[in-house]
């Protein structure tokens, strides 16, 4: 039998805060002339839904971009 740790659900307010942060980041990237790919958008969606915490989200995006640490 496997044990899967579950995270506590985030509040609607926290979800909105995360959504606003992702939206601001996406806008900043677009101003620089870039578009986020589907993988990064999926990582961000998991962060917004509370499946990932900020350090995990950052680590996954950095790994996807081929950046160490």
Note the pLDDT tens digit of each residue in 11-47.
999 999 999 999 999 999 999 999 999 999 999 999 9
Query: Hey, where are the domains in the chain?
Result: 12-65
pTM for the whole thing?
0.83
C-alpha to C-alpha distance for 16 and 21, rounded to whole angstroms: 9
Q: Report the length, in residues, of the chain.
A: 69
The number of CA neighbours under 13 Å toward the Cβ of 61 is 21
Cβ pair 9, 48 in contact under 8 A? no
Note the pLDDT tens digit of each residue in 47-60.
999 999 999 999 99
């Amino acid at each position: 039998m496997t044990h899967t740790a579950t995270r506590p659900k985030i509040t609607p307010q926290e979800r909105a805060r995360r959504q606003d942060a992702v939206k601001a980041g996406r806008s900043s990237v677009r101003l620089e002339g870039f578009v986020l790919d589907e993988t990064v958008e999926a990582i961000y969606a998991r962060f917004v839904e509370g499946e990932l915490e900020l350090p995990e989200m950052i680590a996954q995006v950095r790994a996807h971009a081929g950046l160490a640490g």
